[in-house]
Structure 1
Amino acid sequence: MIEPVVAESGPKTVEESTVDRRTMVAGTVGTVMEWYDFNLYGLASALIFGPLFFGSGSVGGTLASFATFAVGFAARPIGGVLFGHLGDRIGRKQVLLVTMLAMGVCTTLIGVLPTHAVAGIWAPILLIVLRVGQGIAVGGEFAGATLLTVENAPPGKRGLYGAIPAMGTGAGFVLASAVFGLVSLLPEEQFTTWGWRIPFLLSVGLVLFGLWVRTGIKETPVFADLTERGEVARFPLLVTLRRQPGAVVRTMGITISGFVWGYLIQAFALSYATKTLGLPKSTMLWAIALASALEIVAIPFWGWLSDRIGRRVTVTIGLVLTVAYVFPFFALLETKSTPLVFLAMVLAIPVCKDMVFGPQAALVAEQFNANVRYSGVSVGREFGGAIFGGTAPFVATALLAATGSIDIVALYVVAGCVLTLIAVFAGRETANRDLRDA
């Protein structure tokens, strides 16, 4: 049995406290920016990309748009392999600068792309190329940002520290939803002509701020210790697959529920509510923005709770709540009542989804040894995202079109929760594992 870390953590100097704060901001601001950019694409896929880039506002255009959404996830394992290798070879900090810059450039360029009416077939081709670039960048971002804080965490606080960058996913979606909600209030002709471009172009400011913050941080003590002892793996991914294949599979499984449920809420449900149920776009966007704002508090809380009662217990409760809630969630949307739609989102995202997602950063980091941790987390998480996350809106839309029943979509979510539960209980409780081992 692995004993808890009991290293001394006495009073910190002013300089150490400043470094800690900057490290936390660096991990969080990058995640905010990455997920602002990535979620903008999800919103645009649900609302505008079908007619603009594929020449159709019908179900076929929506499916094509969601297919390009999935392409970004398919590219994420490439980023996971590439940046995971670099993160375990040269350190967490340098990789995080590259992922941020790459994501910002791709998103800004999407904002200036010609549409199908102007460029014909080149419009969706260029969109897909930039979407692949987004996916590669995100494939290395989440693992690096969370390891930056998890590997700096004091004893007994890894769940909380790991959840702080993760809350940037909520903040990023708040920004994306709020900005997209504002531009969607424009007259339809102005929105479809130039208004939708504004949120993509605004990512430039986030990139510049994030790069400034990240240039001033130090490498994590765990990686610095590895370097000093000469235990940096030459081929970390190969070492991971040879020595810890079960941890890679468990990591994939741990992420399934969050990917399926999260992207059904944020992409499919948005399309379903506006196009099938006839709800106003602004109502759904503001409901998602409110729920995502609550994530800023909820995700760290659930991470903190997992430090107290364990990762497995916290995640299991979240999975049970999700299974119990998924059918009522769609029923609340079908009422078309604005207060009930807001309630549906508030219960779905910061409660059900985040009780599973909050402890996830620490939980997946604890699956791997220190010298292969970046590769293990990136590859396991991003392959899970490619298989189950990016495909979720497409699969749900296809299921609904084939059966005409939203119940089959709810059962799809239940299946994802069952797979995650199996993965969580396939390993031991890891909250007390020493992350310095190699």
Structure 2
Amino acid sequence: MTDDLSGIRPGTPRKAAVAAWIGSALEYYDFFIYGSAAALIFPKVFFDKSDPANATLLSLASFGVAYAARPVGAFILGHVGDRFGRKKIMVFTLILMGVSTFLIGCLPSRDQIGGLAAVLLVALRIMQGLSAAGEQASANSMTLEHSPADRRGYFTSFTLNGTQFGQILATLVFIPVAALPEEQLLSWGWRLPFWLSVVVAVTGWIIRRKLEETPAFEAEVAQGTVPRMPLAVLFRGHWTSVLRVVGAALIATVSTIFTVWALNYATSDAVGLDKAVMLWVSIAANTTALAAIPLWARLSDRIGRKPVFLVGAIGSPIMIFLYLAAINSKSYPLVFLVGILTLGVVYSAANGVWPSFYSEMFSTRVRLSGMAIGTQFGFAIAGFAVATAAGIVSPEGWLGLQGWVGVGVFTAILCAISALSALTGRETAHVPTEDLGKHDTRRPVFRAE
């Protein structure tokens, strides 16, 4: 086993991975509690209760608003991260997410201030989106650039592992909240998970403020090669990689359909499954993913990123069909089994590999901005997939399809784009870190043991 960067300090890859894991867990706890609330609570608190179907559609659309804000945040935070360093972005994003989420918990309801309540909710959701735009890209860049070349996949996977834990934590918090009597739930109970986010700002500052900047970025600074305008460099020499990441990132549709739309659909009057049980399905699937993600990532260090990513991109839409069919069967054991296999195992193949796969498409000079912009445009489409799915199950349908079958076809189309995008990329698992993002990446100088 060899390191291709002599500046890597002993123990630092683990420190960077832990910082990425904890930060992502806290960051995405905030992000995902909004998803649970948008599916279960917000239609009755912030939107017109006299039209439940429209209220649900607007609530799910507000979930997608953050994904629309993320590309804007990617441009801003990507530029700052490639110009001034990864560490600054990692601290800033956690503080912004913690403050905006805490303030959501303080918002008055529609009954108290009318339509202004929904406006304020959307504004704070946009702040969440701006924060999320820089979190994963900065954490992935930091971890990859601190990692030995032959274990980049493994160490960078901790960012997504933290994301899964954040989702577990968010769901665990919502289970007792969802069990409250409806009057208490809609008045003050739903606010508690959001108020807990004040811990994010404090914990994030403590964890990340002492983390060292990466050897790769420090080398750029020492050599005077840090670009003054990273975005200009990115779009002049790496625009095809940005487009490739946009397409590949559509795989995130599987996660948003599973965690938000399917939860709302399963607990709707049309199906009638228990809210608490469905939340436990999410916990079981994400707990399985905690183990599966690093295993898939380590496999990619050996056999390559593309084969593992394609397992997730091709297998996930098949599993989504089976999961939605299981929900319609109303068999709780079947829902648990297929749900765990869908999100916990198959989707984890792509989810565990993309932090390294996307990062390795770019050089150090534009890595953070390239990853941030590419992923956030793809994630924006995935975020609005929830609202699109809600429209598909409406009486009008979509392309002649209605109900959950239409949602499954829609998800499969986006996953097909993801798979094709990945196929067009180079295999980078065995390329030295200093050679990443260069036109000739075919010269491996090591092999994973």
Paired residues in the alignment total 429
State the alpha-carbon separation in 1 of the partners of residues 330 and 419 from structure 2: 33
Aligned counterpart, 1:262:
255
State the TM-score, normalized to the length of structure 2. Answer: 0.92
Structure 1 position 310, deviation (Å): 0.8
Secondary structure of 2:350's aligned partner: helix
State the alpha-carbon separation in 2 of the partners of residues 103 and 49 from structure 1: 19
1:419 and 2:417 matched: yes
State the alpha-carbon separation in 1 of the partners of residues 405 and 221 from structure 2: 52
State the alpha-carbon separation in 1 of the partners of residues 365 and 376 from structure 2: 19
Fraction of identical pairs, as percent: 37
Contact (CA 8 Å) 2:5, 2:433: kept in 1 or not?
Answer: no
Render the CA deviation track for 1:34-57: whole Å, top value 9, x for unaligned. Answer: 111111111111111111001226
State the alpha-carbon separation in 2 of the partners of residues 21 and 306 from structure 1: 19
State the alpha-carbon separation in 2 of the partners of residues 8 and 50 from structure 1: 52
Aligned counterpart, 1:279:
273
Contact (CA 8 Å) 2:170, 2:193: kept in 1 or not?
Answer: yes
Contact (CA 8 Å) 1:5, 1:432: kept in 2 or not?
Answer: no
Aligned counterpart, 1:430:
428
State the alpha-carbon separation in 2 of the partners of residues 384 and 238 from structure 1: 21
1:213 and 2:211 matched: no
1:328 and 2:332 matched: no
Structure 1 position 203, deviation (Å): 1.2
Contact (CA 8 Å) 1:233, 1:371: kept in 2 or not?
Answer: yes
Shift of the 120–318 alpha-carbon distance from structure 1 to 2, 3 Å rule, reads same
1:245 partner letter: W
Render the CA deviation track for 1:7-35: whole Å, top value 9, x for unaligned. Answer: 3889x98xx32x44432221111111111
Render the CA deviation track for 1:306-327: whole Å, top value 9, x for unaligned. Answer: 1111111111122232233222
Aligned counterpart, 1:396:
389
Secondary structure of 1:156's aligned partner: helix
1:23 aligned to which of 16, 21, 46: 16
Secondary structure of 2:434's aligned partner: coil
5+ long unaligned stretches in structure 1 = none
State the alpha-carbon separation in 1 of the partners of residues 149 and 155 from structure 2: 11
Equivalent positions of 1:66-105 (< 5 A) are 66-105=60-99
Contact (CA 8 Å) 1:25, 1:213: kept in 2 or not?
Answer: no
1:224 and 2:218 matched: yes
State the TM-score, normalized to the length of structure 1. Answer: 0.95
Contact (CA 8 Å) 1:50, 1:65: kept in 2 or not?
Answer: yes
Render the CA deviation track for 1:49-69: whole Å, top value 9, x for unaligned. Answer: 111001226110011001111
Contact (CA 8 Å) 2:102, 2:195: kept in 1 or not?
Answer: yes
State the alpha-carbon separation in 2 of the partners of residues 333 and 274 from structure 1: 10
State the alpha-carbon separation in 2 of the partners of residues 326 and 37 from structure 1: 25
Equivalent positions of 1:3-402 (< 5 A) are 7=4, 16-17=10-11, 19-56=12-49, 58-257=52-251, 259-275=252-268, 276-386=270-380, 388-401=381-394, 402=396
Secondary structure of 2:24's aligned partner: helix
1:414 partner letter: A
Structure 1 position 5, deviation (Å): 7.2
RMSD: 1.7
Secondary structure of 1:208's aligned partner: helix
1:35 partner letter: Y
1:140 partner letter: G
State the alpha-carbon separation in 2 of the partners of residues 7 and 435 from structure 1: 6
Contact (CA 8 Å) 1:366, 1:430: kept in 2 or not?
Answer: yes
